[in-house]
Structure 1
Amino acid sequence: MEDTIAAVATAYGEGGIGIIRISGNKAFDILKDIFEPGGEFAEIVSRRMTYGKIVDKDNNEIIDEVLAVYMKGPKTYTAEDVAEINCHGSIVALRKTLGLALRKGARMAEPGEFTKRAFLNGRLDLSQAEAVIDIVKAKTDKSFDVAISQLEGGLSLKIMEIRQKLLDVLVDITVNIDYPDEDIEELTYEKLEENILLIGEMIEKLLSTASTGRMIREGIRIAIVGKPNVGKSSLMNSLLKEIRAIVTEIPGTTRDTIEETLSIRNIPVYLVDTAGIRDTSDKVELLGIEKSKEAFNNADFIIFITDGSRPISSEDKEIGKYLKEKKSLILINKSDLGRVFDDDEIREIAGNHDIIETSLLNGKGIEDIEEFIENMVYGGHLSQKDSMMVNNVRHIELLRKSRGSLEDALKMIASKEALDFIEIDVKNTYEYLGEIIGETVSDDIIDEVFARFCLGK
């Protein structure tokens, strides 16, 4: 924390602008040493963008023409003195400017060190700092909205509210343990149970958003499976709204899995079009079928496509065996050609999954498929406008531990155990929730969180 750190804060590669960020008590001195203001402003003033040049005075070399700004702490991202240099987006200009800053007294920042300093200096709590990663990695408007809500402290405020209620309970327990003969209101088991149940409901409400939050943050992996020539590639092309997979009447055209990333109604989706699963002696096609089975096993969700114009085949039945334990949607395709089997027949081989009738070449059923995916992710009850979701695996695990400790406390209350034992479980809950916002977290966890950041953030 005593060092001044520097890094490239923008992505490497050609671009209009690239930014060097410097943070620490030497930020101003380093900037002054390598930056020469030009034009009508001949001095560096805090929070004023200034035109000038980066100059290596040791070699009398002009490195780049830039805009630079110095910001006096603590009202900065890191709560320290910060300088930012807007170079041309050239790898050479960025490398030379950063190298010059390092020579003048800065050291290279570690991954996430700027945000780590913001946390350690009290500008962000740990859940807000983690939201910064989600903002950078957001792939849809919805995942961005959720991350912004957490950066603004939406989750933090809710956690602090729950912890305050737990603290009130702990105070009541402690007073009744330490001062049993004083003239204070007696804490009954009934009152204690009522308070803990209320807190448990608040935790449960947060956990109820976890599944949706995780899918919005990480995306959902969907595998399209079925025998050859039933319309798998047509479905991928329709969802992507472009021709990505070759569509022919020849079975076995798709020899390998095709993976694409897209957004379906603001939900990040990894779509895998698999080779048709069938018996074949073609060695290349067999390799594709093996990869299809691997994609099937790794998927969060399966779309099973059948040809409704033909009788259910042995290949359909073989695929259907694997679907009964997986989250799946059954598409009965080629409805424009008529159907020769009903819903019950396909459910008998594939399980009691939802069915949508489609004609993919004509675009029939695509909106129904998108709506089904949306309802599956949101559970049919969460408003898309509600950005207060738990989407971080670490937070989810700590909330589950909190819920477990409260359940243990309720068992103790039910059996009228001593308040000392109940206090331990309530205190554990308080500590677990504190780990989410960084109040009671260890240094190892802090280091692990910030190691996931990119350089310059």
Structure 2
Amino acid sequence: MIQDTIAAISTAVGEGGIAVIRVSGPEAIAESAKCFRSKSNIVTADSHTVHYGHIVDPISGEVVEEILLTIMRGPRSFTSEDVVELSTHGGVVAVKRVLELLLRSGDVRIAEPGEFTKRAFLNGRIDLTQAEAVIDLIRSKSDRAFSVAMKQAEGMLSKKVKALRHNLIELLAHIEVNIDYPEHDVASMTSDYIRERCGEACAEIDRLLKTASEGKILREGIMTAIVGRPNVGKSSLLNALVQENKAIVTDIPGTTRDVIEEYVTLGGIPLRLLDTAGIRETADVVERIGVERSRSALEEADLILFVLNVNEELHPDDRLLMEQFRNRPVVVLLNKTDLPVVMNTSEVEAIFSPEQIVRLSVLHEQGLETLEDVIKRMFFGGELESADLTYVSNVRHITLLGHARQSLVDAMEATDIGIPIDIVQIDVRTAWEQLGELIGDSVSDSLIDQIFSQFCLGK
């Protein structure tokens, strides 16, 4: 049982309208009362009430801050413990002084990263998939990614996994009865039952894993490198997609000297855009470093937006890049279509399919919708799935679902070749345990610590 009380700043550091300090634990209310002065007595106050007052240094009597204090008594709180939230003015000095007063007594300690959510998990209010969804909510790069994380935080994935485990425990119980009372067992019926139930579980896991690649994209975004020779419109494309002048645009080749990174949502798809330095041979030392960084970004990219200028003939460097991208996920952008077309595009069309080629004018923002449709087809088969679908996006979840499926396949194969039923039971139980690890029913302390260490301090 958790005995200590923790506190941390829950809002981002910096200037703002308000800042929030969260306190959680058995002494959260009593410790807050030591430095809070108000007409109401918060020690006896009802849960889910807000109180106006001042933070006062109990030693000097100095008024430190004017605040609103919110009380949430356990188990009706985020952590299932007594929780106090102190809303201060949103300045660095104000919130720091209030936190220091709370920690001064020694009965309240600073929270570790993710410890509030960890306590919610340890106290049984949420399971591990719901806890992991909290960090996905914080890091969401698009509305759809946020919706997916919210569904998981509400327990949609947990319900499906728990249903799978319930079916497997029923199967294990059936096998146990047949092991204990073999005289009442009809071997063929038991084998058929094992195949049927394991097959149903595999089918449900397959339905979840089918969403894995899309879920991972929604969660992390598509790492997208904008590539091409200098002055073909790469930085203009970045600015058009971001709807902001993030990159300097001039007629001087080599203006972009480094990789510029921005997140943008295109038709509900989060793109992690990397505007790279123009790839060419150069004697400029600084530009050469930028070109090398561009090549490194290309190696890591999930998608390449290869920009060509149709207002000029293909350059030998263009042809080299075309060969390099032949077998990569690439969209060729024939830019500057608002100008006279000089390029013979037949060479491009001989290497890339019509579905990979988009004609556009970045200057006039023409063709961007076509680009959006092409990316949807490449990564989502043309359409994003319903927002109600349970997406699996976490690598840990994908791995454990894959392991559980393989254990069920092993059980079915063992049944087919006549392996004794008590041996088959081991594979079924392994699958059940692996699904339990997914939701946190059977998980090591070190894994729990690793997961919650990724959270920010006040969460």
TM-score of the superposition, structure 2-length normalised? 0.93
1:405-429 deviation per Cα after TM superposition (whole angstroms, max 9, x unaligned) = 1222232123222222221111111
Counterpart in 2 of 1:195?
197
SS of corresponding position for 2:428:
helix
1:17-44 deviation per Cα after TM superposition (whole angstroms, max 9, x unaligned) = 1112111111121122111113899974
Distance in 2 (alpha carbons) for counterparts of 1:239 and 1:16? 31
Counterpart in 1 of 2:291?
289
1:50-95 deviation per Cα after TM superposition (whole angstroms, max 9, x unaligned) = 1111111211111111111222211111111111111111222222
Corresponding letter in the other structure for 2:387: K
Deviation at 1:435, TM superposition (A): 0.9
SS of corresponding position for 1:58:
coil
Do 2:373 and 2:382's aligned partners in 1 also have CA atoms closer than 8 Å? Answer: no
Distance in 2 (alpha carbons) for counterparts of 1:42 and 1:19? 20
User: How large is the RMSD of aligned CA atoms in angstroms?
Assistant: 2.3
Q: Does 1:338 align with 2:331?
A: no
Larger displacement relative to structure 2 (378-387 or 424-433): 378-387
Larger displacement relative to structure 2 (186-195 or 102-111): 186-195
Corresponding letter in the other structure for 1:37: S
Q: Kindly tell me: are residues 116 and 164 of structure 1, through their superposed partners in 2, closer, same or farther at Cα, counting changes over 3 Å?
A: same
Q: Kindly tell me: are residues 18 and 244 of structure 1, through their superposed partners in 2, closer, same or farther at Cα, counting changes over 3 Å?
A: closer
Do 1:173 and 1:187's aligned partners in 2 also have CA atoms closer than 8 Å? Answer: no
Do 1:323 and 1:350's aligned partners in 2 also have CA atoms closer than 8 Å? Answer: no
Counterpart in 1 of 2:96?
95
- Structure 1 unaligned segments of length 5 or more: list them: none
Counterpart in 2 of 1:55?
56
Q: How does 1:107-118 map to 2 (within 5 A)?
A: 107-118=109-120
Corresponding letter in the other structure for 1:444: S
Do 1:37 and 1:43's aligned partners in 2 also have CA atoms closer than 8 Å? Answer: no
Counterpart in 1 of 2:406?
404
Counterpart in 2 of 1:326?
328
Q: How does 1:170-319 map to 2 (within 5 A)?
A: 170-182=172-184, 187-319=189-321
Do 1:233 and 1:247's aligned partners in 2 also have CA atoms closer than 8 Å? Answer: yes
Distance in 2 (alpha carbons) for counterparts of 1:387 and 1:174? 35
Q: Does 1:65 align with 2:66?
A: yes
Q: Of residues 359, 365, 368 in structure 1, which corresponds to 2:367?
A: 365
SS of corresponding position for 2:317:
helix
Deviation at 1:207, TM superposition (A): 0.7
TM-score of the superposition, structure 1-length normalised? 0.93
SS of corresponding position for 1:390:
coil
Do 2:25 and 2:83's aligned partners in 1 also have CA atoms closer than 8 Å? Answer: yes
1:116-149 deviation per Cα after TM superposition (whole angstroms, max 9, x unaligned) = 1111111011111111111122222111111111
Distance in 2 (alpha carbons) for counterparts of 1:76 and 1:40? 20
Do 2:29 and 2:43's aligned partners in 1 also have CA atoms closer than 8 Å? Answer: no
Corresponding letter in the other structure for 1:73: G
Counterpart in 2 of 1:4?
5
The number of residue pairs the alignment matches comes to 456
Do 1:87 and 1:94's aligned partners in 2 also have CA atoms closer than 8 Å? Answer: yes
1:337-372 deviation per Cα after TM superposition (whole angstroms, max 9, x unaligned) = 2364345x3254568972112232232211111222
Deviation at 1:186, TM superposition (A): 6.0
Corresponding letter in the other structure for 2:240: S
Corresponding letter in the other structure for 1:131: A
Do 1:176 and 1:187's aligned partners in 2 also have CA atoms closer than 8 Å? Answer: no
